Structure 1
Amino acid sequence: MDRKKASKEIMELFIRAVRKYNALERIPVKSDTRHHLYHSERHMLDTIGDNPAMNVTDFARALGVTKGAVSQVVRKLEDKGVVKRYKSGTNEKEIFLELTDAGIDIYLKHKKTNEEIIRPLIRELNKHSVDKVQFLIDMFEWIDGFLDQSRKEMTKTV
């Protein structure tokens, strides 16, 4: 196998997948009778539901975005009445996030939907050896690190 040709094909497939994913992110989904949530909002809601004791800085780190990006999405979720902020009793600068009752309802429904969506991926992964699955995980971790490094280098020159 020609590695240069394979590298080009991998990059083209990755870019195509990213574009499709970005298109999906722009589609709001009705999560209940009152709320339409964009993908970034649903993802933030899930992250808050999964990690109720994390502060805004930790959320930004976990999601690979800036604190400003977290605050922007959280503000939209607050306006929709599904998330609220609160300050730590010990540190006034530390801001935590929690789901409201409406947020918890959406979070639980979204968790169930995510389990249904991931079933085809699990079936596909079950067709392959543990080594192949681990290789795929390793490659995505490498790509994640590569993109972080590329972003750092690009922002140095701006």
Structure 2
Amino acid sequence: MNNKNVSPSHSRNRGSRNLGRLIMQLRRLERHPQTFGNAGTLTPSEIHTIEAIGFEGAVLMSEIAARLGVTKGAVTQLIVRLEAKDLVTRAPHPHDSRGIVMSLTEKGKEAFTAHEEVHVDFYDQLRTQVSEQEIEIFEKCIEKLNEFLQR
């Protein structure tokens, strides 16, 4: 089909439908736990919390909440689950007696690395189907979509 024959409203509707399908796919993925290395099965919320703590660790609970865009109460619940799975540890902040810092255990670092590999594999697969220029456009569109949704 030639793009000259496509009406502007048809293109908008197609874009809207595709965005709707993408959102539904993301919601479906968010409901399915996955295995990351020897860490066992982790929910998307758990692995994203591990990602927010990062490989270097020593992150305040409030910083994790800000990175994830959730409340400190929600982070506390996630941390309790991750501690029970021996993936994170809590420690007092070295300079602020009110603060608690989170770090990944060795098992948590393995999950972090395995999750990073999932992202690398995604981009490797994407590169077989689209050009580097299209990847740059894709990334820019995702960035703008995120900005729009944060308003």
**Shared fold (TM-score greater than 0.5)?**
yes
1:4-83 matches, cutoff 5 A: 4-32=9-37, 35-50=40-55, 52-83=57-88
Gaps of 5+ in 2: 1-5
1:115 counterpart residue number: 120
Per the alignment, do residues 139 and 34 of structure 1 end up closer, same or farther by CA in structure 2, a change over 3 Å counting? closer
Q: Secondary structure of 1:81's partner? A: coil
Bigger relative contact order (CA 8 A; separation at least 6): 2
SS in 2 for 1:93: coil
> How many residue pairs were aligned?
146
TM-score, length-scaled by structure 1? 0.74
Q: Any idea what the Cα deviations from partners look like across 1:73-120, whole Å, max 9, x if unmatched?
A: 222111211111222121122222111122123323333343223311
TM-score (norm 2): 0.77
* Residue identity (%): 25
- The 1-side partners of 2:124 and 2:58 are apart by 29
Structure 1: 5+ residue stretches without partners: 150-158
Query: 1:105 and 1:51, CA in 2 relative to 1: closer, same or farther beyond 3 A?
Result: closer
The residue type paired with residue 77 of structure 2 is Q
The aligned residue for residue 144 of structure 1 is: 146
Q: Which residue of 2 aligns with 1:104?
A: 109
